[in-house]
Structure 1
Amino acid sequence: MKVTANGLQIEVDDTGGEGRPVILLIMGLGMQLVAWPTAFVQQLVDAGFRVVRHDNRDIGLSQGFDHAGVGNIVWETIRHRLGLKVRSAYTLQDMTLDSIGVLDALGIAKAHIVGASMGGMIAQRLAATAPERTASLVSIMSSSGARGLPGPRREVAAMLMRRPLGKGEAELVAHSIRLLRLIQSPAYPQTDEELAERLIFSMRRAYHPAGLMRQMLAIGADDDRPNVLARIQRPTLVLHGEADALVPIACGKDSAARIPGSTFISVPGMGHDLPPEVCTILANHIAPFAHAADAKDQTP
């Protein structure tokens, strides 16, 4: 369903459940709300939560920003490496206000904010911006964005710069599978058929590569978040895969170090994806952490 959030039309999925504590799931770069596996959502519902997912602006079925153009990715990357300000059509703080707007539209006063990758960056900003709306924060496979942190492995960075061999669905799926193979959880590999099924479903739901590029620039422009993290006062859990080839584990450790009182948990064999086994591990950490935060809030 569509809601008006921060003045935009944002696509939302809400499991419902009046009176249940709410978990807001925020997905990463170029990924749609359906990238949160249905089984993972159900695990959280079974644990007693109402779960809300949404397509970030400029991706999926939410409002796009094609009128803003894409910008010169190569030049902006050079600017970033030189320490200059990256220019972007919008910021991660704008996307944070979108997420708060989703809570407003659904009449939700407070939620457990859970974000993956770029979604973790948005979740971090939400906890710092609106602590009164944040029951707890869970940052998954994400980063503080601090300069000097390691980037993707060389082969992953090279793959990110390659273009698909064609514009047809088969070529796009094959290209995406090659990338996913490089960043997958080595302890929990998925078959090409499983990956292709998920990719085809997402592409047929919505395919908007220009939005991905604008979101990438928004990440590059988000240069003050390392200092913002010190303002977070809500209970925080940082989860990161030990085998993450896209956002190395040092990035998650740095996030946790910058957030006062946070808890860091590494996940052996986890990369930068959400296979079923990893989803179960994450849910088994998130659910008790969120319940404990609620119990602490209710203690006189």
Structure 2
Amino acid sequence: MTMVTTPAGVSLNYDTFGDPGRPPLLLIQGLGAHMLGWHADLCRQLADAGFNVLRFDNRDVGLSQKFPQGGYTLADMANDTAGLLTALDIPAAHIVGQSMGGMVAQQLALDHPTRVLTLALIYTAPSTDFIAGRDLVDERTHRPRARDRDEAIALYLDNEAVCASPGYPQDIAWLRELGGQMYDRDYDPDGIVRQVEALDNSPDRTPHLHRITVPTTILHGDGDRLIDPGGSTAMHELIADSKLTVHRAMGHELPRPLWPQIITQIRDNTARGSA
């Protein structure tokens, strides 16, 4: 894991998988999620599929820079992402964003179109209007702080329960491990609150999505309790060169049994961009 500073002066923590000579595939995480939420096994499988995979901590989470004053939007987070590519001397990359990270990815494609080769948008939406589980999000951000590592893990497991897929067993062992790693790296629930504010302070992207012209694959699960799959349908209707896949019985997570399909969908979409 390495720190880098963007041209705008934002410090971001990142790591990579695979051959640096292969096409870059940049993964953007969701609300309050450390980059470790992109499972290392999934990253290795994406690297084996032919990519130089990069994942990073968004601002206000993990080991990246904190913004205690808040006041930023998803556009600022998209600028961070473009700045990361600049700092790493990567002219453009294939972009994969999940949940809030998918919203940042949309904004990146709108504000920095030359930096985006293709898009993969995973259980995300063009606006906060599609956050079906807003009460669940608000409850998560207003819980008391954990007093120790065990309590932080228990809170994390409880938070992730609402993301479970109705058709696939949730990987509790990995989530428990992940919750502990996140606590050890940086436990800062206030950063999540500021990211929620960024979501709320960002404008609806619906009027602008027709400007996205890169090949785009849109993936959602029909068992998602947090973001309505209708958000993916709306994006598909607005982005001309897009394909929509709704995975049956998938929730707001990436179940391991679906990884082969998801990796294939991402890889096939990047091939369309290369063509």
TM-score by length of 2: 0.92
Question: % of aligned pairs identical?
Answer: 37
- Aligned partner of 1:282 in structure 2 is 262
Of 141, 145, 148, 2:123 maps to 141
Decide whether the 8 Å contact of 1:125 with 1:228 is kept in 2. no
Deviation per CA, 1:7-55, whole angstroms, max 9, x where unpaired?
1111011225243111010000111111100111111110110011111
Deviation per CA, 1:250-273, whole angstroms, max 9, x where unpaired?
111112222223111111121111
- Aligned partner of 1:271 in structure 2 is 251
- Aligned partner of 1:152 in structure 2 is 133
Query: Partners of 1:38 and 1:288 in 2: how far apart?
Result: 21
User: 1:193-208 maps to which residues of 2 (within 5 A)?
Assistant: 193-208=173-188
Q: Which deviates more from structure 2 when the two are superposed, residues 258-267 or residues 275-284?
A: 275-284
Decide whether the 8 Å contact of 1:146 with 1:226 is kept in 2. no
State the 4+ residue runs in structure 1 displaced beyond 6 angstroms. none
- Aligned partner of 1:36 in structure 2 is 38
- Aligned partner of 1:98 in structure 2 is 80
CA RMSD of aligned residues (A): 1.9
Larger radius of gyration: 1
**How many residues end up aligned between the 2 structures?**
273
Deviation per CA, 1:66-111, whole angstroms, max 9, x where unpaired?
2x1xxxxxxxxxxxxxxxxxxx611100110100011111111111
Q: Which deviates more from structure 2 when the two are superposed, residues 136-145 or residues 257-266?
A: 257-266
- Aligned partner of 1:216 in structure 2 is 196
Gaps of 5+ in 2: none
- Aligned partner of 2:4 in structure 1 is 3
TM-score by length of 1: 0.85
Gaps of 5+ in 1: 69-87
- 1:184 aligned onto 2:164: yes
Query: Partners of 2:18 and 2:178 in 1: how far apart?
Result: 25
Q: Which deviates more from structure 2 when the two are superposed, residues 40-49 or residues 169-178?
A: 169-178
Decide whether the 8 Å contact of 2:18 with 2:44 is kept in 1. no
